[in-house]
Amino acid sequence: MDPVSTEEIQRRLLGWFARHRRDLPFRRDRSPYRVLLTEVMSQQTAAEAVGHHLERFLVRFPDVPTLAAAAEQDVLALWQGLGYYSRARNLHRAARMMVERFGGHVPADPADLRALPGVGPYIAAAIGSFAFGRDAAAFDANAARVLARLFDLDRATPGLAESLLPHGRAADWNEAVMDLGALVCVPRAPRCALCPLADLCAGRQAGRAASLPCKPVRRPRPEVEVTTLVLRDGAGRLGLVQRPSAGLLAGMWECPSVEGGASPAEVARRHSLDLCGEVEPLPALRYTFTHRIWRVRPYRAVGHGPVRWVDAAEMRELPLGGPSARLAVAEGARIAVPK
């Protein structure tokens, strides 16, 4: 690539960024722990939605040692609303590793960062550039899209991102690319008229901008029917069961459920529940995971059995998984809090 073109791209994009950068709360503090939390939470979650969750998390777990000492269930409960709970489990494991190996601090060395559970090339580069001032390209989905369009490539590479870094300004550059991808070079219908690089964009000149980067053909996600009992006892409390410690929604709490199109009676039998009276069908839910889709048929019922009975206050302290979180919230107004 022509060095003059590289300098022009850098000049224009950094100038645009100075005028249009998003004022995101977590950008005001570059401490390594805060950057780590921000980047982990931002995976699969819009940056604008992270701020509230981040501040709440920091109040409860203000530093690495506090997070490491916490029970996993407490971490998962506070993660609720962000989804993809494996991120929270990896973060918890990473905190314990940082206490054991790095004195309770986020390490600065790239190899040490990559050794932490859940920290891949992108998060390591983001921490390196934002928290430690290292010249490292944070190559995320926004960067991949911007660069693929700019250079008319089916797919951009981390190496290309590295070649564009302005020395000493990696943090600003990484944020500039992210903001351009979030505000202008959006996945569908890119706003090319607002782009500071429009006349340099090879993908736009080729008429391919909107279709880049090329996405691999994905197999359709299997759809699984799930029958769920929103179970209450005579006191109006909600009955929950804990999922296995491994697999989908590991260790999370949920309403008693069975996959495979079971009847409410079959769900009760599988969970050793005794139902009292008729069950009431509730509106169906559709819940999408990364690799599957649940079609949930919920039923409200009264009964008793080997479940954990919770009132509204206790329910808020438990990590609720998947569609049961929605169902429990909907039931929350009907659950009494003891006086």
Q: What DSSP element (H or E) covers 230?
A: strand 223-232
Catalytic positions, please? 39
- CA dihedral defined by 42, 45, 49, 50, rounded to 10 degrees? -30
CA distance 165 to 17: 15
How is residue 76 written in tokens? 């998962």
The label of the residue with tokens 């459920």 reads 257
Helix (H, G, I), strand (E, B) or coil at 48: helix
How is residue 168 written in tokens? 């000493």
CA distance 73 to 320: 10
How is residue 108 written in tokens? 């600065």
The label of the residue with tokens 């004195």 reads 103
Q: What DSSP element (H or E) covers 129?
A: helix 121-132
HSE-up of 82 (CA within 13 Å, CB side)? Answer: 31
HSE-up of 221 (CA within 13 Å, CB side)? Answer: 13
CA distance 143 to 228: 41
CA distance 51 to 57: 10
